[in-house]
Amino acid sequence: MTATRRTADTLFILFGLVVLWEILHRIAGETAMPAPLPTFAYLLHNLTTPRFIANLTTTGLELGYALLLAYGIGLAIGVWMGAHRLSGAVGEPILVSLYSLPKITLYPVVLLIFGLGISGKVAFGALHGVLPVALLTMGAIRAIPPVYLRAARTLQLSPWQTIATVLLPAALPEVFTGLRIGFTVTLLGVLLGEMFASKEGLGAMIMNALQLVQGEEMMTVAIVLFAFAALANGFLLFIEHRLHRRV
Amino acid sequence: MNAAPVPHEIHAQLSGVTRTYPTVPGAGAKMPVHALGPIDLDLLRGEFFAVVGPSGCGKSTFLEVLAGLQQPTAGAVTFEGKPVGGQVPEGIGVVFQEDASFPWLTVWDNVAFGLRRSGVAAPELRRRVEDAIAFVGLKDFARAYPSQLSGGMRQRVCIARTLVLQPRLILLDEPFGALDAQTRLLMGDEVLRLWRRTGATVLLITHALDEAAMLADRVGAMSARPGRFIEIIATGWPRGRDSTIVGEAAFGEITGRLWERLRGESLKALGHAAVPAMAAE
């Protein structure tokens, strides 16, 4: 598929979504679902207000810290469990069951430990992201064909050269898939954290607008988040496909 | 009988080599698994030696011990007079049965991989890599990734990656096991070409009797596990041979003799008692 064709497809989907939105607006009424056009007008007016920018910055900061933690801890756990057979055998079922657990049930615990400030939301976001990053990294390392290691030895590589020039590139595409999924769920965790027990951030803005019945503000925040998540995911997918194409 | 340029100069030597694997937990077996040996073998400089034997007889273990990828449980391995053990000595190149080409590198970078880490100057490196790629016939695919190549072409990438390091002993572990019979015959010709051009000592592990009979100066028939050489047959082929010798009477004789020696061992590997050929039914 050519680039123009893909752009046309994307625009077509976006147009379809706006039409769907308009239809929902006609069914649900003004309070529940404001019309697209007034919402876009509201968005343009409010996007640059200090209030909006402050909330956006808070969410961005929380997401950044949470990703840093999720990636750092997730990669460390994943490499360790992938390389050490016993740790992997013990750790994998634990991680898998934690992954399937609805983590929102643990949010009160996180709040009790980290408090109501930014650290609670960062911790909750990281809690979401760590698991897929660790699991996929572990899988990536286990999936490296053993013959690569033997080949590295016959090519006279030192252990460090083997890690840097064979193991790392061999595992990278799969690890990157973990980072992309980790990004999506970390964002989810941060926003969930903001929606409950928080006064700052985009998640808190949505809940605030809900209480004040400000449909346009609710939809504005939703559109911003939608656009950000879609763009970031598209970018990560683009890199991921490039990495996978060679394998 | 062998066609080595300097006859009877020992290039690599195994004496009293055995390999035993400790019991695998949960595998059921209480005794350690005796996989190989004892093996005594002198590889002569410049000869082409093939090892055939039933599956699971320890052929690959034998190759890995010789390459220094595995330590022998007992006995000693020497390469060019120096003991081998713990690591692969400089001068030994290995081509594995599995596809070991790196999918994240182009053919060119795959071939250059080992050389880049040996501190060879750039112009020399380029010349040697291009030469090796041309030798295996992948000139038009230098910029391709392995995923764009067939299995046989990828195995040639691995051969070029080994060849470029100018090994003096080349170990081939069933490199054509995954290829179809016709491609294997052609790849056999390429291995002969490689052997003649590099002047290296070549050791080929294979399960195909015809492949061993066609390619080697000497063929070692290996018993069922624990693998030992039950007979070593000299083929007497000229150095300039190629796959057309499969039509010669001597080829049939050698293959027949190998099968005679290995039939009972193959049955043992299948779990049968060794039975005389005519009484098999």
Q: pLDDT confidence of B7, banded at 50, 70, 90? A: low
- Kindly list the residues from chain A whose CB atom is less than 8 angstroms away from the CB atom of residue B149: none
Distances (CA, A) of B71 to B16, B36, B61, B75, B170: 13, 12, 10, 10, 19
Residue-level pLDDT at B27: 54
The answer to whether the Cβ–Cβ distance between B88 and A156 falls below 8 Å is yes
Could you tell me if residue A38 is inside a domain? no
Mean pLDDT score across all residues of chain B:
83
β-bridge mates for residue B206, sequence order: B52
How many domains would you assign to chain A?
A: 1
Say whether residue A160 is in contact with chain B using an 8 A CB cutoff.
no
H or E, element range at A228: helix A215-245
Residue extents of the structural domains in chain B: 10-91+169-280, 98-166
- Kindly list the residues from chain A whose CB atom is less than 8 angstroms away from the CB atom of residue B100: 145, 147-148, 150-151
The answer to whether the Cβ–Cβ distance between B104 and A148 falls below 8 Å is no
| CATH code for the domain of A115 | 1.10.3720.10
Q: pLDDT confidence of B208, banded at 50, 70, 90? A: confident
Q: How far B259 CA lies from chain A's nearest CA (Å)?
A: 31
Write the CB contacts of B143 (distance below 8 Å, at least 6 apart in sequence): B106, B107, B108
Could you tell me if residue A31 is inside a domain? no
Phi-psi region of A200 (alpha: psi -120 to 50; beta: other; left: phi over 0): beta
Residue-level pLDDT at B1: 43
- Nearest to A203, CA basis, from A212, A211, A194, A190: A194
Q: pLDDT confidence of B276, banded at 50, 70, 90? A: low
Residue-level pLDDT at B279: 44
Residue-level pLDDT at A128: 93
Has residue B113 got a pLDDT over 80? yes
Give the max Cα distance, chain A: 71
* Residues of chain A with confidence (pLDDT) below 70: 1-2, 246-247
Percent of chain B whose pLDDT exceeds 70:
91
Residue-level pLDDT at A246: 66
CATH architecture, range B10-91+169-280: 3-Layer(aba) Sandwich (3.40)
Range of the domain at A76: 55-245
pLDDT tens profile A164-193: 889 889 999 999 999 999 999 999 999 999
Could you tell me if residue A28 is inside a domain? no
Could you tell me if residue A121 is inside a domain? yes
Distances (CA, A) of B199 to B95, B166, B191: 17, 10, 12
Note which residues in 160-199 of chain B have CB less than 8 A from chain A.
161-162, 165
3 state DSSP class of B17: strand
Q: pLDDT confidence of B144, banded at 50, 70, 90? A: very high
Could you tell me if residue A3 is inside a domain? no
The answer to whether the Cβ–Cβ distance between A155 and B165 falls below 8 Å is yes
Say whether residue A161 is in contact with chain B using an 8 A CB cutoff.
yes
Q: Rounded to an integer, what distance in angstroms lies between the CA atom of residue B190 and that of residue B215?
A: 10
Say whether residue A97 is in contact with chain B using an 8 A CB cutoff.
no
- Kindly list the residues from chain A whose CB atom is less than 8 angstroms away from the CB atom of residue B105: 169
- Kindly list the residues from chain A whose CB atom is less than 8 angstroms away from the CB atom of residue B118: 156
Has residue B280 got a pLDDT over 70? no
Has residue B187 got a pLDDT over 90? no
Residue-level pLDDT at B4: 46
Say whether residue A246 is in contact with chain B using an 8 A CB cutoff.
yes
Could you tell me if residue A11 is inside a domain? no
Residue-level pLDDT at B30: 63
Could you tell me if residue A33 is inside a domain? no
Say whether residue B103 is in contact with chain A using an 8 A CB cutoff.
yes
Q: Rounded to an integer, what distance in angstroms lies between the CA atom of residue B118 and that of residue A158?
A: 12
- Which chain A residue shows the shortest CA-CA distance from B64? A150
pLDDT tens profile B24-73: 655 555 677 888 878 888 989 989 999 988 877 888 888 999 998 888 88
pLDDT tens profile A76-91: 999 999 888 888 889 8
Q: What are phi and psi of B93, to 5 degrees?
A: -115, 140
Has residue B281 got a pLDDT over 50? no
Cα A233 to chain centroid, rounded: 8
- Nearest to A36, CA basis, from A226, A237, A192, A188: A226
Strands B201-206 and B48-52, by their bridges, are parallel
User: In this predicted complex, what is the ipTM?
Assistant: 0.82
